[in-house]
Amino acid sequence: MLLGGEVKGELARIQPARACCRRAELIGLLHGSGGDRLQTLDHATARTAVHLASSLRIRVEAPRAASRGGSRTRRHLTVRVERDELGAWRWSDAPACDRRSFLRGVLLGSGSISFTASGPHVEFVLRTADAATTLRVRLAELGVRAGLTARRGHDVVYLKGLDEIVALLGLMGANRGVLELETQRVGRDVRSRVNRLLNAEEANLGRTVRAADRQLVAIDRLEREGTLARLTPSLRETAAMRRRMPDADLDALASAVGVSRSAVNHRLRRLVELAREGAG
């Protein structure tokens, strides 16, 4: 089973070769806070921010652990970047490589990926409504549909459905994550198809057994009433074979008797009818 942390780890390890992409990713990392600092619980993400800033010769403060709200909260790492040195950056002017890098930064800085029994879930928790709306629009521009909601004072952008999540991870370059998800999807499709077949098989089996029970009851009655001995040889032969093979389906019975499936079916129906007539 794939873990959200593994996918984020894969994303954190991507090191863009071009400076334009590194800058876009750093801006994405800061997008969630809407300011000059990244707050994260994840050490790899904090390291990524420091690496990106250093490689661009932008001043950055080493990650500091800050515990907020007492001992029950996990410790956040804060990375402060000299925002002015980043300069102006506009999504609308950014080439595709930078847009993808920006989104990767947002996911690393403010996003989480989880895999539940009902499927994968991706969400971004953002500090401001503006940051949330902007992110949603940008995702839509790249063909990824996202929902918007508020939770405990935070604005949350979320992705539902495997297709959207596979599309997003593909854009960001999480190739191993995409591969795992596709494999899981194939696995799940195959499993549900197998389950459907098994259920249908069971239903068929139930029908066969119920029909066989009716035939056996009919044959017993015909015998008790002395009718069985007076029937045609073909009916008697079929009755005898049904008794010898109480669980057999029509095909097995037909080949045992040496006639067609429909002939056996016809004879069995006739036996059930005759028993009903005798009873009536």
Which residues contact Zn ion by CB under 5 A? 18, 20-21, 97-98
Residue 28: CB minimum distance to Zn ion, A: 12
Residue 164: CB minimum distance to Zn ion, A: 24
Residue 23: CB minimum distance to Zn ion, A: 8
Residue 23's alpha-carbon distances to 34, 43, 56, 125, in angstroms, are 16, 20, 7, 22
CB closer to Zn ion out of 97 and 256: 97
CB closer to Zn ion out of 138 and 242: 138
Residue 42's alpha-carbon distances to 5, 69, 75, in angstroms, are 9, 18, 10
CB closer to Zn ion out of 93 and 277: 93
Q: Which of 104, 85, 87, 78 is nearest to 25 (CA)?
A: 104
Residue 101: CB minimum distance to Zn ion, A: 6
Residue 90: CB minimum distance to Zn ion, A: 14
Buried b (16+ CB within 10 A) or exposed e, 238-252: bbebbeeeeebbbee
Residue the block writes with tokens 């002395």: 226
Residue 202: CB minimum distance to Zn ion, A: 56
CB closer to Zn ion out of 11 and 159: 11
CB closer to Zn ion out of 51 and 154: 51
Residue 15: CB minimum distance to Zn ion, A: 13
Residue the block writes with tokens 């994550």: 177
Residue the block writes with tokens 């503006």: 130
Tokens matching residue 142: 């790249």
Residue 82: CB minimum distance to Zn ion, A: 21
CB closer to Zn ion out of 1 and 17: 17
Cβ atoms of 33 and 127 closer than 8 Å: yes
* CB-count burial class (<10 Å; 0-12, 13-18, 19+) for 169: buried
Q: Reading across the β-sheet that carries 37-40, which strands appear in turn? A: 37-40, 76-80, 64-66
CB closer to Zn ion out of 98 and 155: 98
CB closer to Zn ion out of 18 and 244: 18
CA angle 237, 215, 244 (to 5 degrees): 50
**How far, in Å, CA of 198 to CA of 117, rounded?**
22
